[in-house]
């Protein structure tokens, strides 16, 4: 088998160096080239999997610290591959189209490549230490993207973000150390820990579960660990927002799926997580109704959708987990498209307050329709990928908890209703057209088209990935 993961990581390392050494004008082209090559390799894995009938990948490289069982080993299953594929697509479109502000292209290009390196490494890690290292590389890359790029209060938002992320990293590292010392074979290998975790004392399992859940819920994020997200999106550049909601939040979602595998007694708390997820979804739905900044509104929709995804994970059955994975894939595309459109609106009209915007559909047809389709994709309209994920999640939730657990579905309806109200007021209204328009470049329109394609591609042809799940 070809060393797919190794080729992806090597491509991104070379790309990061290339983007750093070339001049400002060519750095974005380097980022687009190398993220594009990485995306092609990811599709190569998909084609190989369709031919062989299995998406399982395992690659062994070097023994980094033999005495502590820390190795450069990588593996993929259908869950991690789905998220890796989404991450490579979103990263490529971010590098190609995301810099609507046209500022500090070299800095942003290097950070995009570095962040994608962390995402590929994290989703493919077969070792918890490697998982932790790639997690922190991604956090650092996005911290500098927030701190150096974006709007006036970006540094305050970046400091809030890093405080939360340092806490998440501390909780994650403590949990990893406990797993190492209490697993009978003393290993950081994920498969070894999963096989031996039933032998860990139950009280220790519960402590590890709460430590891991605390770390991953911060990154998803859900209430009450969500406070960094709205400010981060308000101040972040378009590229930063696309990567934050499109990919970083999936670090947390993937981590929660992994948590239940590493800690078998964690199912004891699945009902509690389900209640937390339901409350978080309604909290975010009502909170977004008080917002006027388009980016801030979209940020709260992320909390709604990630809360629904947590509900699917908490169901602890194959329908819920499969739906949560597919919903994360769909959310990555949909939310990236919404933030790309919101960034374009901010650039074109120098304003993101929907009360001050009118006639976007008339001033920029492509951006107007992209916003509308992005809302379709986020709210799970049929033929979009989110529809498949939501149906599977609520099938799993109904099977696990009873009909009352489907009540959080109404949080999606509430959020969707307000989003359609915002669109009607700012995008579709042509009574008073906002003037002084700065038109977007072809790169943004290409980004719109690619994200729309994948939203409908995985919505119309879900079996391409779902056939690899065991339902």
For 408-459, the pLDDT digits (tens) are 888 888 888 888 888 887 777 666 665 555 566 677 888 888 999 999 999 9
pLDDT for the residue 174: 92
> CB 7: neighbour CB atoms within 10 A?
15
Q: Is the pTM of this model over 0.85?
A: yes
Which of the residues in the chain have pLDDT under 70? 1, 60-69, 98-103, 152, 361, 429-441, 470-471
Cα gap 48→150, rounded to integer Å: 40
Please list, in sequence order, all residues whose beta carbon lies within 8 angstroms of the beta carbon of residue 336, skipping any fewer than 6 positions away.
90, 93, 94, 242, 245, 246, 451
pLDDT for the residue 451: 92
pLDDT for the residue 65: 66
- Are 310 and 220 spatial neighbours (Cβ–Cβ below 8 Å)? yes
Cα gap 109→250, rounded to integer Å: 21
- Are 307 and 408 spatial neighbours (Cβ–Cβ below 8 Å)? yes
Tokens of 471: 């339902």
pLDDT for the residue 187: 81
- Are 325 and 83 spatial neighbours (Cβ–Cβ below 8 Å)? yes
> CB 424: neighbour CB atoms within 10 A?
12
Tokens of 135: 């997690």
Helix axes 409-423, 294-314, angle to 10 degrees: 160
Tokens of 69: 């069982």
Tokens of 367: 């951006």
pLDDT tens track for 316-351 = 889 999 999 999 999 999 999 988 888 888 777 777
Cα gap 146→251, rounded to integer Å: 18
Cα gap 384→374, rounded to integer Å: 10
Cα gap 350→111, rounded to integer Å: 25
């Amino acid at each position: 088998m070809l060393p797919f993961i190794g080729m992806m990581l090597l491509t991104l390392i070379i790309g990061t160096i290339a983007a750093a050494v070339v001049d400002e004008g060519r750095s974005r082209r380097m980022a687009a080239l190398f993220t594009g090559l990485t995306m092609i390799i990811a599709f190569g894995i998909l084609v190989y999997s369709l031919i062989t009938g299995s998406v399982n990948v395992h690659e062994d490289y070097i023994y980094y610290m033999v005495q502590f069982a820390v190795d450069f080993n990588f593996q993929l299953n259908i869950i991690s591959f789905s998220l890796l594929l989404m991450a490579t697509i979103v990263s490529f479109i971010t590098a190609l189209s995301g810099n609507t502000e046209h500022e500090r292209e070299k800095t942003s290009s290097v950070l995009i490549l570095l962040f994608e390196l962390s995402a590929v490494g994290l989703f493919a890690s077969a070792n918890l230490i490697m998982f932790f290292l790639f997690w922190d590389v991604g956090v650092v890359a996005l911290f500098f993207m927030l701190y150096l790029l974006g709007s006036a209060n970006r540094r305050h938002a970046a400091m809030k973000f890093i405080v939360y992320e340092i806490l998440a990293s501390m909780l994650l590292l403590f949990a990893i150390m406990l797993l190492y010392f209490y697993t009978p074979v003393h290993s950081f290998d994920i498969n070894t820990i999963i096989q031996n975790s039933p032998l860990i004392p139950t009280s220790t399992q519960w402590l590890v579960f709460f430590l891991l859940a605390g770390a991953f819920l911060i990154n998803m994020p859900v209430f009450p660990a969500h406070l960094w997200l709205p400010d981060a999106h308000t101040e972040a550049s378009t590229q930063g927002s696309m990567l934050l909601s499109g990919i970083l939040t999936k670090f947390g979602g993937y981590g929660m799926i992994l948590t239940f595998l590493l800690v078998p007694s964690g199912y004891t708390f699945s009902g509690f997580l389900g209640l937390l997820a339901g409350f978080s979804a309604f909290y975010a739905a009502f909170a977004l109704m008080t917002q006027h900044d388009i980016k801030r509104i979209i940020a709260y929709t992320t909390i709604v959708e990630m809360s629904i995804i947590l509900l699917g994970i908490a169901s602890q059955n194959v329908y819920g987990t499969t739906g949560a994975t597919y919903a994360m894939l769909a959310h990555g595309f949909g939310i990236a498209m919404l933030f790309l459109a919101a960034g374009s609106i901010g650039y074109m009209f120098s304003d993101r307050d929907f009360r001050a915007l009118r006639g976007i559909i008339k001033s920029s047809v492509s951006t107007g329709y992209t916003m509308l389709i992005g809302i379709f994709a986020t709210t799970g309209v049929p033929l979009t990928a989110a529809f498949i994920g939501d149906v599977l999640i609520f099938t799993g939730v109904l099977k696990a908890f009873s009909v009352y657990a489907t009540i959080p579905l109404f949080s999606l309806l509430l959020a969707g209703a307000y989003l359609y109200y915002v669109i009607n007021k700012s995008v579709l209204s042509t009574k008073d057209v906002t003037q002084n328009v700065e038109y977007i470049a072809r790169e943004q329109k290409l980004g719109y088209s690619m994200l729309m394609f994948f939203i409908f591609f995985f919505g119309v042809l879900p079996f391409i990935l779902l056939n690899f799940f065991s339902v």
